[in-house]
Amino acid sequence: MQDPETRVRLGAIGSVLVALCCFTPILVILLGAVGLSALTGYLDYVLLPALVVFIGLTIYALWRKRRIDACCTTSGNGEKK
């Protein structure tokens, strides 16, 4: 299992990248440059669900991190402090 910090970073980076591809013509230009412009019609079917997944991952990781931070810490011998 990854720690919550890694999940938060992964979710945030993924959300930013997918949002850049959704709201700017970066992917359309890149696909056109390599001759795959016929795929631009299918971008919405991939990018919007990916954006929802990454935003959900970020929210889940922040919720999980908050729960872990709020929990009591334990000492090395298993007793609660």
* Whether the predicted model's global pTM rises above the 0.85 cut: no
pLDDT, tens digit, for every residue of 66-79? 888 788 665 555 55
Cα–Cα distances in angstroms (integers) from residue 64 to residues 5, 50, 55, 75, in the given order: 10, 21, 14, 21
Asked whether residue 45 is domain-assigned, the answer is: yes
* Angle, helix 4-23 to helix 43-70, in steps of 10 degrees: 150
Asked whether residue 75 is domain-assigned, the answer is: no
Any idea which of 8-22, 46-60, 65-79 has the lowest mean pLDDT? 65-79
| Domain span holding position 38 | 4-70
Asked whether residue 37 is domain-assigned, the answer is: yes
**d(Cα 58, Cα 68) in Å, to the nearest integer?**
15
- Please report which residue ranges of 1-81 form alpha helices under DSSP H: 4-23, 26-33, 43-70
Asked whether residue 80 is domain-assigned, the answer is: no
- How many domains does the chain fold into? 1
